[in-house]
Structure 1
Amino acid sequence: MRKRTATAWGVAILCFVVLMLVTPAIPQSQEYHNFADQREFLGIPNFLNVISNFPFLVVGVVGLVLCYYGNYFKLSLPGELFGWTFFFAGVAAVGFGSSYYHLEPNDARLVWDRLPMTVAFTSIIAIFIIERVDARKGTFSIIPLTLAGVVSILYWRFFDDLRPYAVIQFVPCIAIPLMAILLPPMYTHSTYWLWAAGFYILAKIEEAADVPIYNVTFHIMSGHTLKHLCAALVPVFLTLMLAKREVAEERVSLLQMWKVSWTKVKLNNANVETISCEYSGLTLYASSCKLNPMR
């Protein structure tokens, strides 16, 4: 197991080094700060982009309270409480950091927007390792992964290169759905992970379509505002999952469950076709008897 773990880390580091060597630097475009909706209301500039971060604060605080209130989430594995604390603290901090950034968008303030998001991303990866791979290794990975996220932000800020940050941000988008589908969970309600991943991807699409959405909605709401609201649904779904889940009686991956369900559907369809054929045969025989009453 140790050999496989070392190999996996070695491959990951090698891939990252190769990526840094063969790809050009990605500087922060200053056009990024030019959001579609820049309206001021109640003396607050970029009003909707600022207040749409409030759900992050609410969900983050609620999650932190439930983590420590009578073990409401039933966090039994070593390191789970630590990992989810990092996650919900990061989510709550997004409410402050992103609002601070949108009051006056620039690179210096963007650091405080991205930093808490990175803490949330990296803690989620550690939580997955705790739940589905090895609790001890996942617990020890929380701090290194968080530090890797912080370093990616500092690297961007000092060298104006977004490549490490892009890896930290987008790897979870691929890794979490794959791990949720392929690795058998310890708890029930694993599909909530897929809902959370789906809404995060939708949020990124809305972010990219900031101006078109603003125009389509007749300047009522921009894509970036919708991005905040959709992204806030990610911790909402994960909070619901924590509140509902129980320890699974049998550890079966979602892929295996889907295969079993598909097999049952195919068998049910086959049974329906067989019954239909038999019924048709009986009908034809009965009709034949009526036509030949002397037989």
Structure 2
Amino acid sequence: MAKSKYYAWAAAIAIFIVLMIVTPSIPQSQDYHDFADQRTLFFGIPNTLNVISNFPFLIVGMIGLILCHYRNYLKLSLQGELWGWSCFFIGVAAVAFGSSYYHLKPNDSRLVWDRLPMTIAFTSIMAIFIIERVDEKTGATSIIPLLVAGILSILYWITFDDLRPYAVVQFVPCIVIPLMAILMPPMYTHSTYWLWAAVFYLLAKVEEAEDKVIYKWAHHIVSGHTLKHLCAAMVPVFLTLMLAKRSIEPERKSLFETWKFYWIKVKDDEYKTQSFDCEYAAVRTSEP
């Protein structure tokens, strides 16, 4: 088992190195800072809605962090769980400050403080998932290396104007976590909350990409980027609800196995219904 873990990490590092060699660098586009909604609506706050829409991150992050440490309300018992979830909620709360600071005057130097707390959240949630679905010890020991890797991706972007490492840190968890949530047996109940969180994050990325289009569709009331902040804040909301509601899973079956079982059951019920109808139709009646 230990060797397979080392092989997995070695393979991941090798794939990353190959990607860095064969793919071109991705510089930070300055058009990224040109958001659709640049209105100053009240209190003299520039880009008002893009700034204040970060406030939910602070609320959810602080609530999650308090629940992690208040009388073990969330019942975090596995090795590294407390540290992993604490880092996640700290990152979420810090997004409120970093993203607000960036949106007051969008530029590359301020964008660092927007992306840094998000990177902390991404990498810590990946470590948490390894703890739950792969191995407790491996996940616990991966918290610091993953956090360091995330910070280094930001430093690499600042130094070389290349977003490739940051893109890996941001998007790999978005792909791997939903797949692992579906295919790997969960240790806890309410595993579908992971998928709801993934759906809202995907929706947030779509809204971010269609910032100007949504602003036009909404008749200049709200932009896609503002909605992106609100949808992204739903990710920690769902994960906090999951932590509050979950318990140890007595029968560790993956979501794929559960869905497959229900699908087979539905098909069997449909087949039995059709069979019953056929038998009923075959009955002959005679008139007296």
Question: TM-score range with shorter-chain normalisation?
Answer: over 0.9
d(CA) in 2 for partners of 1:281, 1:70:
67
Q: Which residue of 2 aligns with 1:27?
A: 27
d(CA) in 2 for partners of 1:231, 1:258:
27
Q: Which runs of 5+ in 2 are unaligned?
A: none
d(CA) in 1 for partners of 2:236, 2:280:
53
RMSD: 0.8
Q: Which residue of 2 aligns with 1:172?
A: 173
Amino acid at match of 2:46: P
Q: Which residue of 2 aligns with 1:55?
A: 56
Q: Secondary structure at the match of 1:111?
A: helix
* Aligned-residue offset at 1:25: 1.0
Q: Which residue of 1 aligns with 2:71?
A: 70
Amino acid at match of 2:281: S
Q: Which residue of 2 aligns with 1:8?
A: 8
Q: Which residue of 2 aligns with 1:38?
A: 38
Q: Which runs of 5+ in 1 are unaligned?
A: none
* Aligned-residue offset at 1:24: 1.2
Greater C-alpha Rg: 1
Residue 147 of structure 2 corresponds to residue 133 of structure 1: no
1:150-161 equivalences under 5 Å are 150-161=151-162
Amino acid at match of 1:226: L
Q: Which residue of 1 aligns with 2:254?
A: 253
Q: Secondary structure at the match of 1:3?
A: helix
Q: Secondary structure at the match of 2:204?
A: helix
* Aligned-residue offset at 1:280: 1.9
1:102-160 per-residue CA deviation (whole Å, 9 max, x = no partner) reads 00111111000000000000011100110111101100000000000000001101111
Q: Secondary structure at the match of 2:282?
A: helix
* Aligned-residue offset at 1:68: 1.1
Q: Which residue of 1 aligns with 2:94?
A: 93
1:20-66 per-residue CA deviation (whole Å, 9 max, x = no partner) reads 11111111111111100000022000000000000000000000011
Q: Which residue of 1 aligns with 2:198?
A: 197
d(CA) in 2 for partners of 1:225, 1:28:
21
d(CA) in 2 for partners of 1:93, 1:24:
32
d(CA) in 2 for partners of 1:266, 1:75:
39
Percent identity reads: 69
* Aligned-residue offset at 1:278: 2.1
TM-score by length of 1: 0.96
The total of aligned residue pairs comes to 287
d(CA) in 1 for partners of 2:107, 2:216:
24
d(CA) in 2 for partners of 1:8, 1:221:
44
Q: Which residue of 2 aligns with 1:113?
A: 114
Amino acid at match of 1:34: D
TM-score by length of 2: 0.98
d(CA) in 2 for partners of 1:9, 1:83:
19
d(CA) in 2 for partners of 1:68, 1:275:
58
d(CA) in 2 for partners of 1:164, 1:194:
25
1:56-108 per-residue CA deviation (whole Å, 9 max, x = no partner) reads 00000000011111211111111111100000000000011000100011111
d(CA) in 2 for partners of 1:56, 1:157:
25
* Aligned-residue offset at 1:281: 2.5
1:185-264 equivalences under 5 Å are 185-264=186-265
Amino acid at match of 2:127: A
d(CA) in 1 for partners of 2:274, 2:160:
66
* Aligned-residue offset at 1:241: 0.6
d(CA) in 2 for partners of 1:77, 1:250:
18
Q: Secondary structure at the match of 2:91?
A: helix
Amino acid at match of 1:106: N
Q: Secondary structure at the match of 2:226?
A: helix
d(CA) in 1 for partners of 2:272, 2:241:
38
Q: Secondary structure at the match of 2:272?
A: helix
